Chains A and B, each alone.
Chain A
Amino acid sequence: MATAFGNEETVRGAGRGDAVARWIGRNPLPALVIAVAVIFALWLILAPWPAGFEDVFGKKRLFINALFNGVTLGGLYFLVATGFTLIFGLMRNVNLAHGSLYLFGGYMGYEATQWTDSWLLSYVVAFLCCAAVGAAMQFFIFRRMEGEDLRQTLVTLGLSIVFSDLMVWVWGGNAIQIDTPDYLLGPTPTPIVVAIKSSGEAVFLQYPRVRLVIFIAAVLIGIGMWLALHRTRIGVMIRAGVDDRDMLSVLGYRVQLLFILVFAFGAGLAGMAGIVGGTFQSISLGEDQHFLLASLQVVIVGGMGSIPGAALGAIIIGCAEQFGQTYFQNYATVLTFVIMVIVLAIRPQGLLGRR
């Protein structure tokens, strides 16, 4: 029933390495397969490809670009999906208005950049606005229907219909692009060889700096969240609430306050992701549904209620989307769909989820 925010068999850092060693000891063959796959993937990325290889996979530049786009898109999906999974894990509330919060954050961030000219400040604005909306939703509506998860879900659905229509009213149907700040513009050279010129000179991959920076930020947020969940008092409360929220409230903790905080935090993250999305691609009508779908897929694949699961799922779904678009355009969504089907068939609770 309970869902995990990590591999709970070990909480302390020292035990974690042992657990990995034990797992390898118990499953030598899968461990070997994983190790070979990792080494092969690293070779695929770092080394220049032999001649016959490009016939199968196409140009290496294409492959590497799809990979980088996939991983950085995964970072964006992670930002959206962690809030979703956190809210679901703690409150059992499938927040179908999460995509609307993402879009709202994007629009608020856009307004903030227009007014203040500061890209970084817009994150604060988007976070606060979305957090306020999220807290209000939890405080005024969901608090009154605790435990009725179907009804809560239906309410979030109704809210998402209203929100998206109101946002069309205010911002119209045109796509809006948030400008990348000057200091993040342009490409960054990476030590990855994509091709070798006829002169024998290696060509290195150039990749947009802003995407790399945002991906690193997403990783840092993920690590920060993991630390907050495992090292702070409020994190302990959240994990306890995920496992048994009745027990937590019986022990005298203020569960309602915790719910509001988590809802606000999850919504705020979605809002910040809106700016990232507006910088990467654009924000427009319909993006709310796109990112709701992405969150659903990430959470279904990664495991419901699990933050490491959200990270894993986000990378998988992001890469699947980008590789799909690069290699078989007509059936790109089929790839993510197939991944979802396989995961559901083998592990219905998701890769890192717990029953």
Chain B
Amino acid sequence: MALAETTDTSPIGALGAPRSSSALSGWLSQHAATLILGVLLLILPAVAGSFILVQVFGWAMILGIIALSLMFLGGYGGMVSLAQMTVAGVSGYMITVFGASSLPAISLFWPWWVAAPIAIAIAVAFGALTGALSARTEGIYTIMITLAIAAAFFYLTLQNWPIFNGFAGFTTIPAPIAFGINWKHPVPLYYLILFFAALSYLAVLYISRAPFGLALQGVRDNPRRMEAIGYNVTAHRIAAWAFAALIAAIGGILMVWLNNQISPGSAGIEATIDLLVIAVVGGLGHPIGAFIGAIIYVILRTFALDALVQVGLDGRRFQTLIGLTFLVIVLFSPDGVIGLWRRWSARALSPRRRDG
């Protein structure tokens, strides 16, 4: 946002240049940061080891995808959902139930191109049902209802052995092999995750400016007025839930393929709350916030233990660190890191503007 403000004046002055190339260079300079980031992520496998590649960036992008679905609902729809991790969990469990795992008693061993669409369809149906339940109530009730649903799912997976295999869950999920590539090897897996992260990011960005997204934001800001204009408020909300569930479901399948296991804790209450932490710390104002929050979280999660020990604190107090980070963000910058960045760049820019 702030970046666009700085750059959008420059190409207009480029007189004499052919129109198409000025439009292209304008587009290029407007999206410079995105493009640079994209190129960096594309060439990352050339420099990074497989741990950094998969366990840090891959994991962060998966959490980012799932947090993106939360951001979409919360930021554009005004419905802060705690059930997004559960949706991801549903699709993750379903792909192990319909696909392959080390448990022949439960898994049906259908090929991935059958299992994955079924898993996604079930997760989307679950998300839409959750949406239908909470769309009838307003505002803060959504958090309560979705948290109750998320917790119910967690306890169900914990207690249920015939389908979810209780607290043990599923392990050793074989790799999907397609087009002759084993997608569980670090580099293919990384590119697979990157592809879906970019796809879902661009999809959310596109929808936020499409008529549906604009109507959704209208519903967020003033449902009664939208109703009066003739929009079906409930239908828009449920459609938003279904779309968010689609994103979360993709994230859930990638999560299973990356972790090679799924158990109740994967979509447990802590994971659910961590996901909200990610989305809020990143900022609900822009889709990129979900990914920023995710990378901050994963870096903290991966390196905080050593860092805490280094400064002489108990490394096990990691959760306190996460909670305090979250509290500081909520108390001092409710729009997350993105908000910090926007305010900082606005302040940095304003004197220069006056000079110019």
Q: Is A293's beta carbon under 8 Å from chain B?
A: yes
Q: Is B9's beta carbon under 8 Å from chain A?
A: no
Is the pair B319, A164 in contact by a Cβ cutoff of 8 Å?
yes
Question: In the complex, which residues 309-330 of chain B have their Cβ closer than 8 Å to any Cβ of chain A?
Answer: 314, 316-317, 319-320, 322-324, 326-327, 330
Interface residues on A, range: 35 or more
Q: Which residues of B contact A164 (CB under 8 A)?
A: 319
Is the pair B330, A158 in contact by a Cβ cutoff of 8 Å?
yes
Is the pair A336, B152 in contact by a Cβ cutoff of 8 Å?
yes
Is the pair B280, A296 in contact by a Cβ cutoff of 8 Å?
no
Q: Which B-chain residue is minimally distant from A332 (CB atoms)?
A: B159
Point out which of A158, A293, A333 has the most chain B C-beta atoms below 10 A from its C-beta: A158
Q: Is A304's beta carbon under 8 Å from chain B?
A: yes
Q: How far is the CA of A155 from the CA of B317 in the complex (A)?
A: 19
Q: Which residues of B contact A332 (CB under 8 A)?
A: 159
Partner of A94, one of B143, B149, B156, B317: B143
Q: How far is the CA of A315 from the CA of B222 in the complex (A)?
A: 38
Q: Is A239's beta carbon under 8 Å from chain B?
A: no
Partner of B323, one of A92, A159, A289, A349: A159
Q: Is B145's beta carbon under 8 Å from chain A?
A: yes
Write the nearest CB–CB distance from B80 to chain A, whole angstroms. Answer: 6
Is the pair B145, A300 in contact by a Cβ cutoff of 8 Å?
yes
Is the pair B152, A333 in contact by a Cβ cutoff of 8 Å?
yes
Write the nearest CB–CB distance from B329 to chain A, whole angstroms. Answer: 9
Interface string of A188-230 (1 = CB under 8 A from B): 0000000000000000000000000000000000000000000
Q: Which residues of B contact A157 (CB under 8 A)?
A: 273, 276-277, 326
Given contacts A150-B80, A330-B161, A336-B152, contact A348 B136 (CB under 8 A): yes
Q: Is B250's beta carbon under 8 Å from chain A?
A: no
Q: Which residues of A contact B134 (CB under 8 A)?
A: 344
Interface residues on B, range: 35 or more
Q: Which residues of B contact A300 (CB under 8 A)?
A: 144-145, 148
Is the pair B159, A341 in contact by a Cβ cutoff of 8 Å?
no
Write the nearest CB–CB distance from A284 to chain B, whole angstroms. Answer: 15
Q: Is A115's beta carbon under 8 Å from chain B?
A: no
Q: Which residues of B contact A92 (CB under 8 A)?
A: 140
Q: Which B-chain residue is minimally distant from A166 (CB atoms)?
A: B320
Q: Is B302's beta carbon under 8 Å from chain A?
A: no
Interface string of A162-184 (1 = CB under 8 A from B): 10111001000000000000000
Is the pair B324, A162 in contact by a Cβ cutoff of 8 Å?
yes
Write the nearest CB–CB distance from B331 to chain A, whole angstroms. Answer: 7
Q: Is A276's beta carbon under 8 Å from chain B?
A: no
Is the pair A296, B144 in contact by a Cβ cutoff of 8 Å?
yes
Given contacts A92-B140, A333-B159, A340-B148, contact A161 B319 (CB under 8 A): yes
Is the pair B152, A169 in contact by a Cβ cutoff of 8 Å?
no
Q: How far is the CA of A278 from the CA of B157 in the complex (A)?
A: 25
Q: Which residues of B contact A149 (CB under 8 A)?
A: 139-140
Is the pair B152, A293 in contact by a Cβ cutoff of 8 Å?
yes
Q: Is B246's beta carbon under 8 Å from chain A?
A: no
Q: Is A254's beta carbon under 8 Å from chain B?
A: no
Is the pair B269, A341 in contact by a Cβ cutoff of 8 Å?
no
Q: Is A329's beta carbon under 8 Å from chain B?
A: yes
Partner of A329, one of B159, B269, B323: B159
Partner of B151, one of A94, A296, A349: A296
Q: How far is the CA of A292 from the CA of B149 in the complex (A)?
A: 12
Interface string of A138-169 (1 = CB under 8 A from B): 00010000001111011101111110111001
Q: Is B162's beta carbon under 8 Å from chain A?
A: yes
Q: Which residues of B contact A340 (CB under 8 A)?
A: 148-149, 152
Q: Which residues of B contact A341 (CB under 8 A)?
A: 133
Q: Is A334's beta carbon under 8 Å from chain B?
A: yes
Q: Is B109's beta carbon under 8 Å from chain A?
A: no
Q: Is B117's beta carbon under 8 Å from chain A?
A: no
Q: How far is the CA of A231 from the CA of B80 in the complex (A)?
A: 39
Q: How far is the CA of A155 from the CA of B323 in the complex (A)?
A: 9
Q: How far is the CA of A289 from the CA of B265 in the complex (A)?
A: 13
Is the pair A344, B136 in contact by a Cβ cutoff of 8 Å?
yes
Q: Which residues of B contact A14 (CB under 8 A)?
A: none
Question: In the complex, which residues 318-340 of chain A have their Cβ closer than 8 Å to any Cβ of chain B?
Answer: 329-334, 336-337, 340
Write the nearest CB–CB distance from B334 to chain A, whole angstroms. Answer: 6
Q: How far is the CA of A236 from the CA of B128 in the complex (A)?
A: 42
Q: Is B34's beta carbon under 8 Å from chain A?
A: no
Is the pair A153, B140 in contact by a Cβ cutoff of 8 Å?
yes
Is the pair B323, A330 in contact by a Cβ cutoff of 8 Å?
no
Q: Which A-chain residue is minimally distant from B155 (CB atoms)?
A: A333
Partner of B330, one of A94, A154, A165, A331: A154
Interface residues of B (CB under 8 A from A): 80, 133-134, 136-137, 139-141, 143-145, 147-149, 151-152, 155-156, 159-162, 269, 273, 276-277, 280, 314, 316-317, 319-320, 322-324, 326-327, 330-331, 334
What would be 10 A-B contacts, judged by CB atoms less than 8 Å apart? A157-B276, A159-B327, A161-B323, A162-B319, A162-B320, A165-B317, A297-B152, A330-B161, A344-B136, A345-B133
Extra inter-chain contacts (8) besides given A289-B151, A300-B148, A331-B156, CB under 8 Å: A155-B327, A158-B323, A158-B324, A161-B273, A169-B314, A169-B317, A293-B151, A296-B151
Interface residues of A (CB under 8 A from B): 92, 94, 96, 141, 148-151, 153-155, 157-162, 164-166, 169, 289, 292-293, 296-297, 299-300, 304, 329-334, 336-337, 340-341, 344-345, 348-349
Nearest 7 CB-CB pairings of A with B? A161-B323, A162-B323, A165-B319, A158-B327, A293-B151, A296-B148, A333-B155
